[in-house]
Amino acid sequence: MFDRFIRKKFIVVAVMASGWVALVLMAVNIVQSHENNGLEDIVPPIYEPSWMYKCLPEEGCIRSDEPHPTTNNVTNLTFNSLDICRTVCGRLGGLWPRPVTAVLSTRTVKIHPNYLRFDLEKVPVEAREIMAAMTQVVGSNLLAECDGEVTEVVETPVIVFISVKSADTSLHWETEEQYMLDLASKEGQITVYIMAETVYGARHALETFTQLVASEKSDYSNQKKCGLQIVAGARIRDRPVYRHRGLLLDSSRHFIPMTDIKRTIDGMAANKMNVFHWHVTDTHSFPLESSRVPQFTRYGAYSAKEIYSVEEVKDFIKYAQIRGVRVVIEIDAPAHAGNGWQWGKEYGYGDLAVCVNANAWRHLCIQPPCGQLNPANPAMYRVLRDLYRDIAEMVTKPALLHMGGDEVFFNCWNASEEITNYMRQKNYEISLNGFIDLWSEFHEKALQAWDEELEAAGGTKQPVMLWSSELTQVRRIQQHLSNERYVIEVWEPVDSPLLEQLIKMHYRVVSVPKDIWYLDHGLWGVTKYSNWRRMYAHMLPREENVLGGEVAMWTEYVDKEGIDTRIWPRAAAVAERLWSDPSASVYSAERRLQRQRGRLLARGLRPDAIAPGWCEQHDAKCL
Amino acid sequence: MKWGGEALVRGATAQFAGVGRLRRALVLLAAAACTAAALLYWRQQSGDRAHRPIHALYTEVEPQWSWVCRNYRCERLLASEMTTLQSLQTCNMLCDSTQLWPQPTGPVSLATAVVPVVIDGFSLKIVSSPSKEVSDLLSEAFEMMKDDINMQEEDDDIRQISYGSPRPVVVRVAINGSADPRMRLDTDESYKLFLRPVKKSLIVDITAQSFCGARHGFETLSQIVWRDPYAGTLLILEAATVVDSPHYSYRGLLLDTARNFFPTKAIIRTIDAMAACKMNTFHWHVSDSQSFPLRLDSAPQLAQHGAYGPDAVYTTQDVKTIVRHAKLRGIRVLLEVDAPAHVGRAWGWGPAEGLGHLAHCIEAEPWSAYCGEPPCGQLNPRNPHVYELLERIYREIIELTEVDDLFHLGGDEVSERCWVQHFNDTDPMDLWLEFTRGAIKSLERANRGKLPDISLLWSSRLTRSPYLERLDPNTIGVHVWGSSRWTESRAVLDSGFRAVLSHVDAWYLDCGFGSWRDSSDGHCGPYRSWQQMYEHRPWTEESAALVPGIGNAAAWHVMGGSACQWTEQLGPGGLDARVWPRSAAVAERLWSDRVEGATADVYLRLDTQRARLVRRGVHAAPLWPRWCEHNPNACL
């Protein structure tokens, strides 16, 4: 009641103010024509700009020329709030990633999260718990649009009927993610019907539902008064093009605290990304706690505070699952392993890894610190097996493990007498081919260990992921890696033929072209930065064996403070490429991406700016 | 000069012998437990085992690592294998090189003995001060320094070792020069710092010729105090002598708050980081064609028509807060309202208020015909109201910033075509000169009939021959932003103009992120690393290129330089990591101008400075992986 009162008063003041301005201007005009001493006689009215936005369906939302609300001129498609304008303007409104089809009303209705209800009767009992958790995220995301408090209270009931067919709550490449969403408002009630095969499809529908809502606040305003509006009618049919829509985060070069990783998951969920590829270890540090091998963190963590405990990881996997994201842990091996493995001798197991932290690193690895697992030491496989068992017990089933497998540096192995002796004993040549055989043997043994430990932990045999490398070259891969068991993550630059070649050889692939989708590029060495447009414009082959793609946030030169701006909103651009694979131009996407960027900001992320604020307020004017 | 180190190590050893034995015992126990568990498991491969995280026995209670100084570098070792503990911070401070940033230009000697201190143990004694204002500011700046020192988290503290009981620090300041505390063109920023133990306390003598110099002394003092997480206390070097003064008098950072809006607190944080690097000029590019967030009392229409929204505005109170904060930090705020180009909708209200067109081509399309980036707009050089408004703007800027000896007029990237459309009877270059003279007259009137000593203009066609000759080098300075390979810096300097250098290919912080309008590379890539920014010494390159007999390098007047953060593709969230630590590299180039490039010593000192900035709340980007911070020697 109080809020409404304020609002009325506000409008009156605004009307008076604009009337007063008109009077003053008239007076000035008269003075001007008589005396022409202009400036001195103006007593300028003090008000802050409060722009209006007009929706031109083809171009987008355009700011008014005059900085005050022209109340006598409000038409259907003119708005005080840029966010609301974007939510209804154009065929796709403010949806990101774009759905397959959408019909949206240009009208909006006020709502309040307190009057939002979810009906889960048509969700199988086994899936209700996670579905309920998913609906709770909706509430907090709606509140975020109003900075935590929706002061404008309306009692319009919003009832969301969720219908899910499958009781299966596992998340994997075969999970059906499509959904249908119908929203209608009549007789003072808003009814939403969501239909999906799985809870994950329903979750995506809920994300779309929140994207039909925007706040009435004007752009760049700190006012506390805030109300929400929802599109009055919608009919959306949606399904992803690619089933693997991932983001890699490296938490070894710099430790990234759990809260920052969870925030990254929030961003992924907002963009319907579904794989968090956690490059949790590398030669630099080993922050992942293993209950069977505590030495990993004891010798490998940067400090006792920079560790992901088993409990934290379990909680995190759950957190991600509720947001439709599968956590894929990568234990990079046999290269990119060092700190965390250097305690073998002390415990009587011999060298588990070689060249660890070697001084003349340029001969032994691509960047300091060096380190590579010691394939001549059987104890190494036993320790690795323990680690795999811990992971198998932590992750959800069916479990997907990324086994690393990139950038093996033969000089390092060659520098170890133990390893060259082992090779001789196995009749491997001490040559490129011999080292390839040794490397291949490592993967064979590692895979066997994983299979056995996974089974022991109650899982079933699954494919694993592996980086492209010397071993996955066309002339070698079939000898060493079976296409039944390995999904290859191809990080070669975009002009490399490898991706196409592997597809032809019936390998399933995930594509991360480093010169386009690496988020760290452009800030070191001779690498080049890709802006969101370049990332968005890149297309993957549409083939069954192309599971999808990832963006990769390597953290040599970025830490928890910087990851948000480096990742967002560029990862969102790739998310739309992977979900929708649109043929429309990058330009028509920009206004929706601006809305998505605003949404990420509201949810507590810190996305980078993609253009001057003026361009955000003048769609299609900065081309 | 190194003294006292031995005694420290001995003391610490004695204290920790007991702890060391306990630790060894624990490790043996843990190792045995671990091996037993592992063996047990390997023997019976199936079978579920009860297990507990053995590491919890020790990682929670004691540090993982200890550092020792070997061959002038700190090396990381397992704490459990050491009999004495030393934190990385303390090791860095005591191991060879100074950890000061920027490196002082005069003699420096630092003790390798440390003394524990507490923040309340610092007291200020003003020995001599030329004015009450200076004394008052000194007291405030001293409190700020204490906050800076104390702004170091304590939850990392392990409190395993002790350096004894804290001793009081008496800071005695003597200022013998200027009674004016502002950062002026003629301010002597030099200072001397002399720290020594006297009986049970430490005495710090700081002598300077100005408030700003003394403040720099505080900054240096704060850099020899650090928090040792293993002792859970602040430590200070027991003795130090620093004699220091800057190489260049203008050490700037430009922030553009028009392309995107930055809240006042982000600006304050930026100023804090500048002060930590002894930069002295915050060049605030407050307005542009995209927006005009500065709400001036004398011309509020500009922000009303030009701000992005009701709270994307700097009120005069905000500006005063920023200026006051900067003043305490020894920094001048150089507020630039760019003109005659780079104006927009903010100037569109002229006709409605009967003042005629204050600007032309506002938001004209196609933009590429009338300006360098959308939206367009250019002041109307033939409308007298424009000059009246400029006078108001300039007067209020001078009042707000208290800077009246230096001014920035803007003046770059004028579109000749825009003016030709409206004034086809006049050569646009003549119009530009006419406008510039008019603006300078407005400035003179605004500054009580006296021109500032230097009015800066961005380099442009106007600052090249044959137009350069028509400008007065006694009052005009040129802010050179072209490529360092262009000849314009030399031409400007040869003609006797004072110059501030911001070469686009070296000191622009916004380059390398591609175009923001399409997927092309953008105009000024690639990204410049801190090393490249650090190694940019245009004055030496220029003089090397000089043909003997031509040019007059000796008479050049390079005032200094400025790093520039334009914000077409930057919002508040990414500000710190984009600007820092790269601007710190520019800061040392301008303060110290060391001959060396980005050598190992520079990496180590900058890494320490970066850690300082982070602890003070500035989200500076890392130089390298954290492992390299822990093992500096191995990554160099």
Instruction: Read off the pLDDT of residues A174-197 as tens digits, 9 standing for 90 and up.
Output: 999 999 999 999 989 999 999 999
For testing contact with chain B, the best of A219, A561, A590 (most B CBs within 10 A): A561
Chain A nearest-CA distance from B305, in A, is: 6
Query: What local confidence, expressed as pLDDT, does residue A18 receive?
Result: 43
Question: What tens digit of pLDDT does each residue of B513-541 get?
Answer: 999 888 888 889 899 999 999 999 988 86
Nearest one of B400, B446, B537 to B455, comparing CA atoms = B446
B570 to chain A: which residues are within 8 Å by CB?
608-609
Q: What distance in Å separates residue A612's CA from the closest CA in chain B?
A: 5
Q: Which of B258, B259, B250, B289 is nearest to B501 (CA)?
A: B250
Distance CA A283, CA B626 (A): 12
| pLDDT at residue number B157 | 66
The C-alpha R_g of chain A, in whole angstroms, comes to: 28
Q: For residues B230 and B161, what is the distance between their CA atoms, to the nearest angstrom?
A: 6
Distance CA B627, CA A368 (A): 9
Q: Does B577 contact chain A (CB < 8 Å)? A: yes
What is the Cα–Cα distance from B588 to B102, expressed in whole angstroms?
A: 5
Residues of A in contact with B34 (CB under 8 A): 294-295, 347
Per-residue pLDDT, B541:
64
Query: Where does residue B45 fall: left (phi above 0), alpha (psi -120 to 50 degrees), or beta otherwise?
Result: alpha
Instruction: Read off the amino acid at residue A145.
Output: E
Residue B311 Cα, gap to closest chain A Cα (Å): 5
pLDDT at A487 (0 to 100): 98
Distance from CA of A610 to the nearest CA of B (A): 5
> Which residues fall within 8 angstroms of residue A18, CB to CB, at 6 or more apart?
A68, A69, A70, A71
Quick one: closest CA in B to A529, which residue? B513
- Are the beta carbons of A621 and B353 separated by less than 8 Å? no
The phi, psi pair for B21, rounded to 5°, reads -65, -45
Whether A465 has a pLDDT exceeding 60, the answer reads yes
> Across residues B89-108, what is the average pLDDT?
94
Q: Using an 8 Å Cβ cutoff, are B602 and B97 in contact? A: no
Query: Which residue in B64, B348, B516 is closest to A301 by CB distance?
Result: B64
Q: In the numeric block, which tokens belong to residue B274?
A: 């500048």
DSSP A59-98: TEEEE-SSSS--GGG--TTEES-HHHHHHHSSTTTT-SSP
Q: What are phi and psi of B250, to 5 degrees?
A: -115, 110
Contact assignment for B567 to A42 by CB distance below 8 Å: no
pLDDT band at residue B554, thresholds of 50, 70 and 90? low
Q: What is the mean pLDDT of residues A531-554?
A: 97
Nearest to A368 among B303, B574, B634 (CB): B634
The two tokens of residue B198 are 């006297």
Q: How far apart are CA A336 and CA A404, in angstroms?
A: 8
B149-183 tens-digit pLDDT:
987 666 666 777 889 999 999 999 999 999 999 99
pLDDT at B42 over 70: no
> What's the pLDDT at A323?
98
- DSSP per-residue string spanning B96-143: SS---SSPPSS-EEE-S-EEEE-GGGEEEEEEE-S-HHHHHHHHHHHH
Give the pLDDT confidence score for residue A377 in this predicted structure. 98
Number of Cβ within a 10 Å radius of residue A584: 10
pLDDT of res. B154? 65
Cis amide leading into B229 (omega within 30): no
C-alpha A495/C-alpha A136 separation (Å) is 44
Those residues with Cβ within 8 angstroms of residue B312's Cβ, 6 or more apart along the chain or in another chain? A220, A613, B261, B291, B293
Percent of chain B at pLDDT above 70?
Answer: 87
Contact A481, A465 (CB under 8 A): no
Between CA A273 and CA A248 the distance in angstroms is: 11
Interface of A with B in 412-441 (CB under 8 A): none
Please list, in sequence order, all residues whose beta carbon lies within 8 angstroms of the beta carbon of residue B425, skipping any fewer than 6 positions away. none
pLDDT at A267 over 60: yes
How confident is the model over B571-591, as a mean pLDDT? Answer: 97
Whether residue A10 has pLDDT greater than 80 = no
Q: Where do we find the tokens 């008064």?
A: A225
DSSP at A204: H
Q: Which of A230, A226, A158 is nearest to A188 (CA)?
A: A158
Strand order in the sheet with B114-117: B114-117, B233-237, B225-228
Q: What's the pLDDT at A16?
A: 40
What is the amino acid identity at position B485? R
CB contact under 8 A, A51 and B64: no
B45 has pLDDT over 50:
no
Least confident range from A37-51, A435-449, B137-151, B454-468: namely A37-51
Q: Which of B229, B266, B242 lies closest to B79, judged by CA?
A: B229
Q: Which two tokens stand for residue A132?
A: 């309920």
The separation between the first and the last C-alpha atoms of chain B, rounded to the nearest angstrom, is 25
- Test B304 with A253 for CB contact under 8 angstroms: no
Q: State the burial class of residue A333 (Cβ atoms within 10 Å of its Cβ: 0-12, 13-18, 19+).
A: buried
Residue A78: other Cβ atoms inside 10 A: 16
Q: How far apart are CA A174 and CA B594, in angstroms?
A: 61
Tokens of residue A328, six digits: 């894929």
pLDDT reported for residue B47? 34
Indicate if the pLDDT at residue A363 is higher than 70.
Answer: yes
| Burial state string for A498-520 with b = 16 or more CB within 10 A and e = fewer than 16 | bbebbbeeebbbbbbbbbbbbbb
Provide the percentage of residues in chain A whose pLDDT is more than 70. Answer: 91
A226: tokens are 């805030």
Q: How confident is the model at residue A6 (pLDDT cuts 50, 70, 90)?
A: very low
Q: How far is A218 from chain B (nearest CA, A)?
A: 7
Cβ neighbours around B391 below 10 Å, total: 21
Residues B89, B366: Cα–Cα separation, whole Å: 57
Q: Write out pLDDT tens, residues B279-305.
A: 999 999 999 999 999 999 999 999 999
Give the CA dihedral A399, A400, A403, A404, nearest 10 degrees: -150
Residues 523 to 542 of B: which have CB under 8 A from any A CB? Answer: 525-527, 529
The answer to whether A518 touches A534, Cβ cutoff 8 Å, is no
Cα separation of the two ends of chain A: 45
Between residues 216 and 245 of chain A, which touch chain B (CB distance below 8 Å)? 218-223
pLDDT at B600 over 50: yes
Between CA B370 and CA B366 the distance in angstroms is 7
| pTM score of the predicted model | 0.91
Using the beta-carbon criterion (under 8 Å), do B291 and A347 form an inter-chain contact? no
Instruction: State how far residue B225 is from chain A, nearest Cα, in angstroms.
Output: 23
Contacts of B344 in chain A (CB under 8 A): 614
Chain A residues near residue B617 by CB distance under 8 angstroms: none
Specify whether the CB–CB gap between A315 and A262 falls below 8 A: no
Average pLDDT over residues A415-435: 97
- If one compares B15 and A460, the residue with the highest pLDDT of the two is A460
Q: Model confidence at A306, in pLDDT bands (50, 70, 90)? A: very high
Q: Does A559 touch chain B (CB under 8 A)?
A: yes
On the question of a cis peptide bond just before residue A369, with omega within 30 degrees of 0, the verdict is yes
User: What is the number of CB-based contacts under 8 A between chain A and chain B?
Assistant: 269
Which amino acid belongs to residue A557? Y
User: For residue B81, what pLDDT band results from cuts at 50, 70 and 90?
Assistant: confident
Q: Is A407 a catalytic residue?
A: yes
Is pLDDT of B550 > 90? no
Closest CA to A403 of A488, A307, A326, A339: A488
Q: What's the confidence (pLDDT) of residue A75?
A: 64
Rounded to whole angstroms, the Cα distance separating A131 from A120 reads 8
Dihedral, CA of residue B373, residue B374, residue B380 and residue B385, to nearest 10: -120
Tens of pLDDT, residues B385-425: 999 999 999 999 999 999 999 999 999 899 999 999 999 88
Residues in chain A within 8 Å Cβ distance of B301: 44
Least confident span in A272-281, B41-50, B186-195, B405-414:
B41-50
- At position B43, the amino acid (one-letter code) is R
Compute the distance between CA of residue B400 and CA of residue B296 in angstroms, rounded to an integer.
10
Catalytic residue among A129, A312, A407, A444: A407
Residue A255 CA to residue A252 CA, distance in Å, equals 6
What is the CB neighbour count within 10 angstroms for residue B307? 29
Catalytic residue among B133, B363, B402, B413: B413
Average per-residue pLDDT for chain A: 91
Beta-sheet strands, E only, within B531-592 = 557-565
Q: Does B615 contact A at CB distance below 8 Å? A: no
Average of per-residue pLDDT values in chain B:
88
Q: Hey, is the C-beta of A37 within 8 angstroms of any chain B C-beta?
A: no
Q: Which of A204, A316, A213, A318 is nearest to A270 (CA)?
A: A204
Question: Are A601 and B306 inside 8 Å of each other by CB?
Answer: no
The three-class DSSP label of residue B287 is: strand
Q: Does B35 touch chain A (CB under 8 A)?
A: yes
Residues 6 or more apart whose CB falls under 8 angstroms from that of A396 comprise: A170, A171, A317, A321, A326, A327
Tokens for A158, please give them: 């919003």
In this predicted model, what pLDDT tens digit does every residue of A227-252 receive, in sequence order? 999 999 999 999 999 999 999 999 99
pLDDT digits (tens, 9 = 90+) for A155-165: 999 999 999 99
pLDDT higher than threshold 60 for residue A14: no
The rounded distance, in Å, linking the Cα atoms of B302 and B287 is 10
DSSP structure class, residue A513? -
What does DSSP assign to residue B180?
-
